[in-house]
Structure 1
Amino acid sequence: MTLTDPTTSSDAGAVLDGPALWSAQAHMPTVLGRQLVIDRGEGAYVVTTEGQRLFDGTAGLWHANVGHAHPELAQAAYDQMRRLETYHVFARYANDKAIALGERLAAIAPMERAKVILNSGGSDSIDVAAKLARRHWQREGRAEKTIVLSRDLSYHGLHAFGTSIAGLPFNREGYGSDSLVPETARVAQHDLADVERTILELGPERIAAIVTEPVQGTGGVHPPAPGYLEGLQRLCREHDILLVLDEVITGFGRTGTMFAAQRYGVEPDLVTFAKGVTSGYAPLGGVLVSPRIWEPFYVDSVETPIFRHGVTYAGHATASAVALAHLDVLERDGLVARVGELEAVLRQQLDGLAARQAGVVDVRVAGLLGGVELAPELDAVRVTDALVDLGFISRPLRGNTLQLSPPFIIADEELVSFVAAIEHAIIQEGNR
């Protein structure tokens, strides 16, 4: 890291120079010179350019479910690129891998007869789902149904719609208005009575959709309160509001079922997905669409409208080939069922941690998703820094919470060691 002359005469201090890469979600002055540069991966571990081997306790950004450097996924990408890197799926064109992936995803979707919209990632998926929800009601002749609701502490990516419906205020601040896309609002995180009050105050005739993560991730790993998702579905049905499940984190096994909708017994109108569809080996996301929504766009009539969606890499052939190979690995190796086994280990370990350490305010578990909420006097950022020194990666989330979401391929003893390292780092922080 080097210092350059300040570009202004401000009292803010010198302008810091560093790599050309502007890191994501970063307060740059405090990360420059401290970045961990990852050089390679080995299963559940990554290795830095300095040679430090780290247990990947977050699976990257919740996505490396089958671990890093899986040879079958690398081979799938290589083979596909040698044949056809990609071809777009606009209008009458398609490619064989995108078609095959659509069929595969429709067969495992948490709704019958789903159609599949493919794109490049989770933020894309949220934008498409929110637009499709509003487009649905316009087509129905109910033009007043435009409001998109989301929950307090929710995270839905950082495209325009995802920024607008975020339940984390800091992701909406600084853009000149409370909502980049107008007509959005937040509802209570767990309180169904409060959700219903909000619906009635805004007017159900004005609400297009409610978007929710089944398990809130970035907001601090919050599983739904008992009955909440079922109650949300009931409210949506009673008030003719579309239910959109954001399964970008939870999809493809993270909660012990292929989709969290199946774990919690919910039948959504739309499901967004990304991350786990390829285990992060290629950027791919999409939306699962129920017949209620897609059928009017498939009627054989000159009056049938077009839904104007699509990005250049939608249905990317190589990404689709990797996704197909990844789904093969999930099924062949029984990794979704394995998550259920690991959940029991994680829950036992975190319950024990909470019982032993007064600095642990709460622990939360759903599948292989865990959150450890620390007391205010403990700093989650410093704890995660200490964990790196111990050879483990966690991440500080909103609410002074530590993230645990390792790959599905780990052994029980690795999960036990991860929690033991967290306890060591908490004790170290408490003794500061």
Structure 2
Amino acid sequence: MTSNPKPIDMSAYWLPYTPNRYFHQHPKVMKSAKGAYYFDDHGRKLFDGLSGLWCSPLGHADPRIGAAIAKQYDTMDYCPAFQMASEATFTLASRIVKLAPAGLDKVFFTNSGSEAVDTALKIAIGYHRVQGNASRIRMIGRERAYHGVGIGGISVGGIVANRKMFASMMMPGVDHLPHTLNLSQMAFSKGQPTWGAHLADELERIVALHDANTIAAVILEPVQGSTGVLVPPLGYLQKIREICTKHGILLIFDEVITGFGRLSANFGADRFGVTPDMIVFAKAITNGVIPMGGVLVRGDIYDSIMGGGGQEQLIEFFHGYTYSGHPIPVAAAHAVLDIFESDDLVNRAKALEPILENALHALKGKSGLLDIRNIGLSGAVELEPVPGKPGLRAMKVLEACIERGVLVRISNDTIAVGPPFISTPAEVENLISALGDAVDDAMKSN
């Protein structure tokens, strides 16, 4: 049963990453959230099929997180990030290090994934400089990559719409690897495609073009999430790691989406058995309740920068944020990690992975589906676009999904799903069933 919402004045708010003109004609206003569900202003109960924006794997309004935030607020609402820190910030860094691959034993806190990406790029430049390799200033990203909206992030990122408007602002000296999606070779793959490891060899070509002594770092998402869940081919990440090691190039994994259980492991690095030199994280560390991000860094990179800092009273690395290691998100993150442990959420995600995979691939054969792909508790379907109207088909699917009580994420004509780890098998199956019916509806109209 739905109701007509009260009209609201939407004129002042400029929505991010949203077609604002379309939104004003088809508004989607959420009123509350609890568990794995949102409730909108029409009175509809909507299953959260993408865990917020990949950031709420524990669902919504877990009272344990709220209690931790309230307690911290009463104890100390803010502590300056420069020259001092709260005790809980140190212990949070230690907890994250224990979850990370061996050797990544330093944490630099930020407020978002975008800030964490730019931080990692600056650490890479700083490291090579103190090593006496000041010529290593180039960065290598990848086509279709999303690394946030900072200047560094859009420079190494590879989503055209993120780049073309701001081309004049982007960093110089950036090159890009090709993305790994080739539907003629890997459409409807379950998990990692078997074709495509050779695409990593493009890194050798780029190295030869620019000279390894000019390249600081390669940054990759283990799974390219925001562009539609592009899963790496078997052996691809291993080859990238080998080439980086061979040429003294740092490897950065952007795990803003894949970190903290989304791939049925603590990090994508664990899932794929590849250890980078830095890991960027955000989103799930606070369950999306309050902004926080960070960079896990190899210990010897930190030691080198410390060793190049001159006299000990001088700052070694001129970088940071007013809210780095802020005590309120630190408290939220501690509570989130407590819940991950007490509720065994990574294993719960692992148990749901085959259920999501089977449900998604059961849609194969539906009219208009060009591809289905999945890994961990994430997946996507790629749609045949409406000729001359990119993204319209996906928008129609989104609207039809809402009518069926589920929320999904659209990117051009790709639909992504990533349900909360607290979901039941029945909820995951219902999500995909509703998605399949919505695709049928969308294909009936132009």
TM-score (norm 2): 0.89
Shift of 1:148: 0.8
Q: CA deviation at 1:27?
A: 2.5
- Cα distance between partner residues in 2 of 1:59 and 1:182: 35
Question: 1:89 Cα shift?
Answer: 2.6
Instruction: Quickly say closer, same or farther: Cα 1:300–1:231, change in 2 above 3 A.
Output: closer
Change (3 A) 1:113 1:208: closer
Question: Distance between the aligned counterparts of 1:90 and 1:224, measured in 2?
Answer: 39
Partner of 1:6: none
Q: 2:372 aligns with which of 363, 367, 387?
A: 363
Q: Distance in 1 between matches of 2:437 and 2:217?
A: 44
**Structure 2 counterpart of 1:256, from 264, 269, 279:** 264
2:431 pairs with 1:418: yes
Q: 1:188-207, aligned counterparts within 5 Å?
A: 188-190=178-180, 191-207=199-215
2:248 counterpart letter in structure 1 = D
Q: Provide the rounded CA distance (Å) in 2 between the counterparts of 1:239 and 1:210.
A: 11
1:319 aligns with 2:329: yes
Q: Which residue identity does 2:13 align to in structure 1?
A: L
Distance 1:132 1:301 in 2: 13
Q: Given that residues 111 and 268 in structure 1 are in contact (C-alpha distance below 8 angstroms), is that contact kept between their aligned partners in structure 2? A: no
Offset at residue 163 of structure 1 (A) = 1.3
C-alpha distance in 1 between matches for 2:339 and 2:291:
18
Tell me, in whole angstroms, the C-alpha distance in 2 between the residues paired with 1:84 and 1:39: 30
* Structure 1 outlier segments of 4+, above 6 Å: none
Secondary structure of 1:114's aligned partner: strand
Match of 1:353, SS state, is coil
Alignment correspondent of 2:187: none
Matched, 1:409 2:417: no
Contact 2:104–2:277 under 8 Å retained in 1: no
Asked if 1:338 is matched to 2:338, the reply is no
Equivalent residue for 1:80? 72
Aligned to 2:29: 37
1:376 Cα offset (Å): 2.7
Q: What letter corresponds to residue 183 of structure 1 in structure 2?
A: G
Structure-1 separation of matches of 2:274 and 2:11: 46
Tell me the equivalent position of 2:103: 112
Offset, 1:126: 0.3
Matched, 1:236 2:236: no
Unaligned runs of 5+ in 2: 1-8, 181-198, 387-391
Mapped to 2, the partners of 1:416 and 1:130 lie a distance apart of 40
Alignment partner of 1:380 is 2:389: no
Contact 2:113 2:294 in 1 (8 A): yes
CA contact (8 A) 2:218 2:251 kept: yes
Give CA-to-partner distance per residue, 1:186-218, whole Å, 9 cap, x none: 112231122221221122111100000000011
**Match status 1:218 vs 2:210:** no
- Tell me how far apart the structure 2 counterparts of residues 371 and 25 of structure 1 sit (CA, whole Å): 19
Amino acid at match of 1:314: S
- The answer to whether the Cα contact below 8 Å between 1:58 and 1:394 also exists between their aligned partners in 2 is yes
Task: Give a deviation string over 1:251-289, Cα, whole Å, max 9, x none.
Answer: 000000000100101111111000011111111000001
State the identity %: 35
Q: Root-mean-square deviation (CA), in Å?
A: 1.6
Query: In the alignment, which residue of structure 1 is the partner of 2:171?
Result: 181
Cα distance in 1, alignment partners of residues 230 and 144 from structure 2: 9
1:139 matches 2:130: yes
Alignment TM-score, normalising by the size of structure 1:
0.92
